[in-house]
Structures are given as structure tokens and as C-alpha cells.
């Protein structure tokens, strides 16, 4: 019998993989992984592995913006990324939506006005997929753009959050952070990406928010509000880890220069 | 003729002429000071993807990087009984056509073998190359995937000469190894991903990189051990520790601790991989090497700029096999390379601009030394012969480039 989160969570307050409601999976990341590109990164979140390469900023081809750089995104989900092999073609609607979301998120976030008539190409390869597809892609792209030296006000960090609806009506519904693939199939969830505020006193700003499942807004328990709060808080944790990765890399480079 | 290695080169006629002149020296003077048979250093790791039966990640010093994942699925064999009958017919024909006693004995042995286990079908191996900047139906992708798939499908009949007799031994092809029983087989999905950005005018031809990565992934591929026997519907062992290598590591090599699983199973136990009896060939997955010629010089693993001045570009596919009956004095030559195919690939030097001599235009067809002209014509038989000899090795002392590459890859698998 497959274990499901909804029926066991009420009793143990533990999810099927043993995490508490607000625990992230193990995150490890590295930057400058690809010598032949302008910026590159590898982002691992639990069993999800994403590799990102940046080409640019360079002279734009075809359609160009005279005031800003244009961000293009190519996402490849490897056929072997999940347990069952599934090949997605270049025209796959979900992949195209993912590309548009990532492009528009960074188009608004980066200081693109510094590179008029240029293009920045983000190329993402999803090598292993266990939930948090959009969030991992955004995080990997963020790190690679830092490596490429594209100016940005802060690191864009993303995470998924969901909600466990109690079945018996006694235990309250609990929001949960960073869902894996089996939880994503079972529970309503959203992907949220934030950038930190302009000054230290300002709150983080949500720059990406996508939810594909149905959920009640407002009424009993305020599920959506809870999910969003947990998600924004999770983004902060992820940003700290990503910042640490960048600093560690920078320190290593500086040490090498001496 | 394969499509060009790249669409256009960014080098000027003067640069091309300089490169060509230095590569025609004896020995050739390569831009990165390698010797003619030297490969660019590469880094490789295998068995890195948890959701794959086998995987490999290979990166070269120029930054090109490839990842190969192999997944195996159990499929029902279509028209199982038909293939079996055809196979029996073929066996009868073989024994009628060839009256020679030794060969028909070998054929009968092979026939008996095929009676017990049906032959594989090429469709059971699907290979797919993905380069993110190219369209799915790009000609280069299709040619690359076919060039990588074809050597995997061949069944080479190798004639091994031992001290006294000449025996024909049929080495089983990869498809044959995928047979479970007459109703079921494994289907191999080989997915190749070029991780580094690919631009036709700035990256070296990815064929050798993808081929080496595929080779390593196949070498690391393991199939779960079957619990079912004979004609039963397949039932596999959950324990990944007891899984069996698709290509068991050669017996001469030191075995990794986890690879001892294939040894534990014993050679006579019934499992998916054909048991290796004495006299059978132990085959290894093929490797495709990229070779270019400039005048009479043969250059291995050409970089992008070297390819731009190639007289001819050749893709040489080599398979490896070791005869388990070879005598002890042959043991240091355990892996014998066998030539599978030589293909010519259109050289980018054909599409280059002609250089204009300082003295002004000359009569069409006249040769001015030191002034670049696009290459025309094919490759001489003599050069082709030398290429093959360089790959396979001319004598017992000269092991050939193919063996060197194989040994190099072997080191990655053992480390």
C-alpha cells in the first residue's frame, strides 16, 4: 500500500520522508561548473538536480530591444529524470510555459537596462526530477547569473509550499514546505520565488508565484495565506544557503589569486 | 557522406593556410602541441544518476560536456514465435551452405544456442541525442544518433586464429543480450545529453565525446537479476546489489567490490545476460573515434580549429572483444579491437574562402604555395589503410590507438 501524507501526518506530524512541516530537503549547489560558458551552476535540492549554463550578455540576434537586454530560456528535462522514462519534445507546452515564467522573472529582476540590444541565454538541464521543478530551475539560474556577473539587486530564491488538509476535521490543516514528487501529486501546492527588499527593513518581495491546483481562499484555516507565508519564509532560508555558496566560491577564488 | 562537421569557420584564409602548413609537417605541429595520436585529457564519472540503469558524465578540456543515461524496460516481444522459426530456418541454411566441418560445427553450436535463446532485434535499442540549441529534427542530431546507434547493433563474426585451428565464433550482439525469453525482452533507452552550449562554428564535433560517454554508460549499466526462470513471465530481484552488469568487467581487470555481484551469480545460472562459456567472445561496447587527415598525416581527436583544414574527416567505429580461450601468453592483449565501420564526414574545409595571392589573381587551378584553397576530392586508399592500421595497431608490439583509448576508459571504471 502506498503511503500517503494526508492519512499519516495527523498522527505523527511527520511527512512520508520523515521531515517536519517546515523542513527543507538537503540543498547543495556549486557555481562555475562549466568552463566554456559565461556563467554556470549546479543546484541539487533533495533528489532534484538542475544544471544551468548562461551565455551572454552578448549581442542579440533577431528581435532586439534598444533599451534592455532580452532574457531567453531553454529548459531541457532529461528523458531519464524520473523513474519512468518520458521524453519531452522541444514544443512541449509545459516546458514552454516554464521557459516563459523563468524568462519573465529574470527580465524584471536583473538590471537589463545596462545591456541594451543584447541577449542573455539561460540554458537549464533537469537531470533528475523529484518535485520543485520551477523552484530548482529558478534557483539554478539565479546562481549561474551571479557567476556570469550580471548585475542584480538580490538573489532570486524560490521554493514550493503545500498544505495538508486534515481528513478527520479535528487536527488542523498544516502548511508544508518544499514538497517532493509524491507530495506534489497528492497535495495542493504553489511555487513561490522572492527577492529581498531594497533595504534591510523592507520585506521580501514576491516575484514569481504559480499555483496549478485548486484551493479555497480566505475561509476556514486560511490555507492559501499559510502556504504563502511558509513559502516566503522558505525562500529566505534558500537565499541564505545560496548566498553562502556564492561567498564560499568567492573566497576560494580570492585565496587562489594570492 | 555525412553532413559537414560545422557550417562555417570563423578563420581567415591566411589562418587556415598557416594551420594547414603546420599540420602537414612531420611530425604534425598541432595548435595545442599534442602528438598526432594524443587525445585531449578528459574527465569522466560513471553511475551517477540514481534513476538510471547506467550513466556516465564525460567532459573534455575545451569545456564540452556530455551526460548519458541508460534506462532498461521490460517489453513483450512482438511475434515471438515467428523470429524463432526464422532463426531455425537460418540454421538449416547455414549448415547446408557450409560443408566445412569446423565451421558447420561452430554454426551448429551457435544454432543450438539460438534454439535455447531467441535472437535480439535492433529495435530493442533506442538512442536519442539532445542538444539544447538544435531543433529536434536537425540533420546533425539525426546523423549523430544513427552513427552512435549503428555500431551497437552489429553482430560481428570474428575469426580467431589459435595456434592449431581456425574457428569462427559468433560474438553475441547487444540486442541478443537483451533477450529474457521467447516472449519478453529488455528495451534499452540510451539518452545522450550535450550539457555544454553547442554552436556550429565554435565547438568541436561532438561525436567522439558522445561515443566515449555512451561507451562508459553501457559499461556501467546493470540489469536487475531475474527471479523468474525460462519461459516464465519476468520477475526481477528488488535488490540492486545483486544486479548484473550488461557488460561484465573483463576478468583480467581488478574487480570493484560492488562488481563482484556478477561473479557471485556463477556462469551457469539462468539470467538475462547470456552466460559466458569458454570459447565465446566477451564483447565490449563500441567506440567511435574521429580521425582527420592532412596530406599524408593522420591526426586523432582533432579540435575545432584543426577540423577546419582537414582534407578528410573519418569516423572509425571499433568494437572490442576478448576470447576467453586465448592462451596465457596472450593475456596482456585481452581486448582485441575489431573494425566495425569507417565513415567519411564532410570536411568544413570545403566551404572555406579561397586565399588571394599577393601577386594578384592566378589562373584557376594553379597552386600557389602558402595560399589557402578549399579542399576538394576524397581520401586516398593508402591513407585510409594507414588510418585503420593506426587505430587497430599494426603488430603485436604496436597496440593501436583504439586499445589505448579503451585502457584509458577502463581506468575510469576501475578507479
Give residue B413's pLDDT: 84
Mutate to test the interface with B, among A49, A74, A79, A87 (most CBs of B within 10 A): A79
- In the block, cell 553482430 appears at B155
* Cβ-proximal residues to B164 (8 Å cutoff; 6+ apart), any chain: none
Contact between residue B68 and residue B213 where contact means Cβ atoms under 8 Å apart: yes
Residues of chain A neighbouring B70 (CB-CB closer than 8 A) = 80
DSSP per-residue string spanning B48-88: --TTSSEEEEEEETTS-EEEEEEEEEEEEPTTHHHHHHHHH
Could you state, in order of their start, the residue ranges of all structural domains in chain B? 13-104+121-414
pLDDT at B207 over 80: yes
Instruction: Note whether B75 contacts A: Cβ–Cβ < 8 A.
Output: no
Tell me if ipTM is over 0.90.
no
Judge contact between B208 and B192, C-beta under 8 A.
no
- pTM of this prediction? 0.83
| pLDDT mean over B319-347 | 70
CB neighbours of B90 closer than 8 A, spacing ≥ 6? Answer: none
When CB atoms are compared, the residue of A90, A121, A125 closest to B193 is A125
The answer to whether B51 contacts A123, with C-beta atoms less than 8 Å apart, is no
For B236, which DSSP code? B
B contact test, residue of A77, A127, A181 with most B CBs within 10 A: A127
Task: Indicate the pLDDT class of residue B278, thresholds 50, 70 and 90.
Answer: very low
Q: What is the pLDDT of residue B335?
A: 74
Q: What is the pLDDT of residue A63?
A: 75
Are the Cβ atoms of A55 and B69 closer than 8 angstroms? no
Q: A34–B67: do the CB atoms touch at under 8 Å?
A: no
Residue A139 burial (10 A CB sphere; 0-12, 13-18, 19+): buried
Q: Which three cell numbers stand for residue B360?
A: 594578384
**Interchain contact B126–A (C-beta under 8 A):** no
Top-confidence residue, A29 or B410? A29
Of A37, A83, A90, the CB nearest to B197: A37
Show which of residues 150-189 on chain B sit within 8 Å of chain A, judged by CB atoms. Answer: 189
Cell numbers that stand for B266 in this block: 556463477
User: What's the grid cell of residue B37?
Assistant: 595520436
Give A-chain residues touching B128 at CB under 8 angstroms.
79, 87
Chain center to CA of B303: 19
The answer to whether B62 contacts chain A (CB < 8 Å) is: yes
> Does the beta-carbon distance from A47 to B50 stay under 8 Å?
yes
Cα dihedral B381, B383, B387, B390 sign: positive
Q: pLDDT value at position A11?
A: 78
| Residue A16, CA distances (Å) to A6, A12, A211, B6 in order | 10, 10, 22, 51
Taking the CA of residue B22 as centre, how many other CA atoms within 13 Å lie in the half-sphere pointing to its CB?
A: 14
pLDDT mean over A63-71: 87
**pLDDT above 60 (res B371):** yes
Q: Measure B83 CA to nearest chain A CA, in Å.
A: 28
pLDDT of residue A177: 93
Q: Using CA atoms, how far apart are residues B369 and B382, in angstroms rounded to an integer?
A: 24
pLDDT bracket for residue A168 (50, 70, 90): low
CA distance B127 to chain A (A): 11
Question: What pLDDT score was predicted for residue A215?
Answer: 83
Nearest Cα neighbor of B17 from B402, B369, B404 is B369
Question: In this model, does residue B114 exceed pLDDT 70?
Answer: no
Alpha carbons B101 and B95: distance in angstroms, whole number: 10
CA distance A200 to chain B (A): 38
Least reliable range by pLDDT among A39-43, A230-234, B173-177:
B173-177
Cell of residue A237, nine digits? 532560508
Contact B193 A83 (CB under 8 A): no
Q: Is the pLDDT confidence value at A191 over 50? A: yes
Instruction: Please provide the DSSP assignment of B166-191 as one string.
Output: EEEEEPPPHHHHTB-SSSEEEEEEEE
Which whole number is the average pLDDT over B319-324? 72
Which cell is A155 given?
A: 538573489
Mean of pLDDT over chain B? 76
On whether the CB atoms of residues A85 and A79 are closer than 8 A, the answer is yes
Q: Which residue of A39, A43, A78, A87 is the best one to mutate when testing the B interface, meaning the one whose CB has the most B CBs within 10 A?
A: A78
| pLDDT for the residue B89 | 57
Of A131-140, B88-97, B349-358, the least confident? B88-97
For residue B257, what pLDDT band results from cuts at 50, 70 and 90? very low
**Closest CA of chain A from B329, distance in Å:** 44
Residue-level pLDDT at B291 = 93
CA-based nearest distance A72→chain B, Å: 12
Q: Do B135 and A81 touch (CB under 8 A)?
A: no
Mean pLDDT of chain A: 89
Under DSSP, the state recorded for B314 is E
User: In chain A, which residues have their Cβ closer than 8 Å to the Cβ of B71?
Assistant: 79-80, 85
pLDDT at B87 over 80: no
- Please determine, looking at this structure, whether the domain spanning A25-257 carries the CATH number 3.30.230.70: yes
- For B49, which of A51, A125, A127 is closest by C-beta distance? A127
* Cβ-nearest to A80 among B49, B132, B203: B49
pLDDT given at position A134: 95
Higher pLDDT, A62 or A226: A226
Give pLDDT tens digits for A196-217. Answer: 887 777 888 999 999 998 887 7
Residue A69 three-state SS: coil
pLDDT exceeds cutoff 60 at B86: no
Q: What is the mean pLDDT of residues B374-386?
A: 87
The three cell numbers of residue B350 are 570545403
Proportion of chain B above pLDDT 90, given as a percent: 19
Q: State yes or no: pLDDT of B328 exceeds 80.
A: no
Q: For the residues B259-272, what does the mean pLDDT come to?
A: 36
Counting residues of chain B whose pLDDT is more than 70, the rounded percentage is: 71
Highest-scoring range by mean pLDDT, B180-189, B243-252, B330-339: B180-189
Which residue in chain A is spatially nearest to B203 when comparing CA positions?
A36
Q: Which chain B residues are closer than 8 Å to A37 by Cβ?
A: 63, 196-197
Give B50's contacts in chain A (Cβ within 8 Å): 47, 128
The CATH code that applies to domain B13-104+121-414 is 3.30.230.70
Query: Residues B2-19: pLDDT tens digits?
Result: 554 545 567 888 889 999
* Cβ separation B189–A127 shorter than 8 A: no
Q: Determine whether the interchain pair A80/B69 forms a contact, defined as Cβ–Cβ distance below 8 Å.
A: yes
User: What is the spatial distance between Cα B14 and Cα A55, in angstroms, rounded to a whole number?
Assistant: 29
B41–chain A Cβ distance below 8 A for any pair: no
Verify whether the Cβ–Cβ distance B197 to A123 is below 8 Å: yes
**Residue A8 exposure: Cα atoms within 13 Å on the Cβ side:** 13
Nearest to A34 among B63, B67, B193 (CB): B63
Amino acid at each position: 500500500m502506498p503511503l500517503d501524507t494526508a492519512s499519516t501526518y495527523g498522527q505523527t506530524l511527520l511527512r512520508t520522508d520523515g521531515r517536519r512541516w517546515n523542513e527543507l530537503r538537503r540543498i547543495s549547489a556549486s557555481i562555475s561548473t562549466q568552463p566554456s560558458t559565461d556563467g554556470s551552476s549546479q543546484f541539487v535540492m533533495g533528489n532534484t538536480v538542475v544544471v544551468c549554463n548562461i551565455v551572454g550578455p552578448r549581442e542579440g540576434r533577431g528581435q532586439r530591444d534598444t533599451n534592455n537586454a532580452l532574457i531567453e530560456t531553454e529548459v531541457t528535462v532529461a528523458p531519464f529524470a524520473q523513474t519512468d522514462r518520458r521524453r519531452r519534445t522541444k514544443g512541449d507546452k509545459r516546458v514552454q510555459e516554464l521557459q516563459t515564467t523563468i524568462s519573465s522573472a529574470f527580465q524584471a529582476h536583473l538590471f537589463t537596462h545596462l545591456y541594451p540590444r543584447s541577449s542573455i541565454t539561460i540554458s537549464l538541464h533537469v537531470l533528475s526530477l523529484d518535485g520543485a521543478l520551477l523552484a530548482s530551475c529558478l534557483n539554478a539560474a539565479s546562481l549561474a547569473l551571479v557567476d556570469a556577473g550580471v548585475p542584480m539587486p538580490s538573489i532570486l530564491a524560490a521554493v514550493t509550499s503545500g498544505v495538508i488538509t486534515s481528513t478527520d476535521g479535528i487536527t488542523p490543516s498544516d502548511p508544508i514546505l518544499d514538497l517532493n514528487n509524491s507530495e506534489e501529486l497528492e497535495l495542493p501546492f504553489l511555487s513561490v520565488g522572492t527577492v529581498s527588499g531594497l533595504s534591510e527593513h523592507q520585506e521580501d518581495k514576491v516575484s514569481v508565484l504559480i499555483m496549478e491546483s485548486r484551493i479555497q481562499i480566505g475561509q476556514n484555516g486560511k490555507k492559501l495565506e499559510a502556504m504563502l507565508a511558509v513559502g516566503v519564509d522558505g525562500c529566505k532560508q534558500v537565499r541564505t544557503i545560496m548566498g553562502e555558496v556564492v561567498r564560499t566560491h568567492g573566497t576560494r577564488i580570492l585565496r587562489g589569486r594570492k | 557522406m555525412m553532413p559537414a562537421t560545422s557550417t562555417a569557420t570563423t578563420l581567415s584564409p591566411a589562418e587556415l593556410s598557416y594551420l594547414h602548413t603546420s599540420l602537414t609537417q612531420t611530425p604534425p605541429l598541432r595548435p595545442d602541441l599534442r602528438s598526432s595520436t594524443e587525445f585531449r585529457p578528459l574527465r569522466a564519472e560513471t553511475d551517477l544518476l540514481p534513476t538510471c540503469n547506467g550513466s556516465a558524465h564525460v567532459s573534455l578540456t575545451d569545456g564540452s560536456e556530455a551526460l548519458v543515461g541508460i534506462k532498461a524496460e521490460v517489453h513483450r516481444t512482438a511475434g515471438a514465435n515467428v523470429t524463432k522459426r526464422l532463426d531455425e530456418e537460418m540454421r538449416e541454411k547455414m549448415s547446408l551452405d557450409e560443408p566445412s566441418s569446423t565451421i558447420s560445427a561452430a554454426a551448429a553450436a551457435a544454432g543450438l544456442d539460438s534454439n535455447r535463446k531467441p535472437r535480439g532485434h535492433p529495435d530493442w535499442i533506442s538512442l536519442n541525442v539532445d542538444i539544447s540549441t538544435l531543433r529536434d529534427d536537425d540533420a546533425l542530431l539525426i546523423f549523430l544518433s544513427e552513427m552512435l546507434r549503428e555500431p551497437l547493433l552489429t553482430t560481428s563474426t570474428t575469426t580467431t586464429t589459435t595456434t592449431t585451428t581456425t574457428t569462427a565464433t559468433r560474438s553475441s550482439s547487444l540486442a541478443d543480450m537483451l533477450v529474457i525469453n521467447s516472449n519478453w525482452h529488455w528495451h534499452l533507452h540510451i539518452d545522450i545529453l550535450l550539457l555544454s552550449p553547442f554552436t556550429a562554428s565554435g565547438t568541436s564535433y561532438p561525436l567522439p565525446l558522445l561515443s566515449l560517454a555512451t561507451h562508459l554508460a553501457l559499461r556501467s549499466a546493470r540489469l536487475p537479476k531475474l527471479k523468474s526462470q525460462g519461459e516464465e513471465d519476468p520477475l526481477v530481484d528488488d535488490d540492486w546489489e545483486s544486479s548484473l552488469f550488461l557488460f561484465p568487467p573483463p576478468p583480467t581487470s581488478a574487480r570493484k567490490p560492488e562488481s563482484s555481484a556478477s561473479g557471485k551469480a556463477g556462469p551457469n545460472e539462468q539470467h538475462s545476460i547470456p552466460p559466458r562459456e569458454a570459447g565465446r567472445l566477451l564483447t565490449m561496447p563500441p567506440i567511435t573515434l574521429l580521425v582527420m587527415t592532412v596530406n599524408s598525416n593522420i591526426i586523432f581527436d582533432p579540435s575545432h580549429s584543426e577540423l577546419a583544414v582537414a582534407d578528410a574527416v573519418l569516423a572509425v567505429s571499433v568494437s572490442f572483444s576478448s576470447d576467453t580461450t586465448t592462451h596465457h601468453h596472450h593475456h596482456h592483449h585481452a581486448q582485441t579491437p575489431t573494425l566495425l565501420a569507417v565513415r567519411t564526414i564532410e570536411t568544413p574545409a570545403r566551404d572555406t574562402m579561397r586565399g588571394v595571392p599577393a601577386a594578384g589573381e592566378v589562373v584557376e587551378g594553379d597552386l600557389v604555395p602558402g595560399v589557402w584553397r578549399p579542399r576538394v576530392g576524397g581520401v586516398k586508399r593508402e591513407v585510409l589503410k594507414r588510418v585503420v592500421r593506426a587505430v587497430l595497431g599494426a603488430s603485436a608490439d604496436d597496440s593501436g590507438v583504439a586499445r589505448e583509448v579503451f585502457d584509458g576508459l577502463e581506468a575510469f571504471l576501475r578507479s
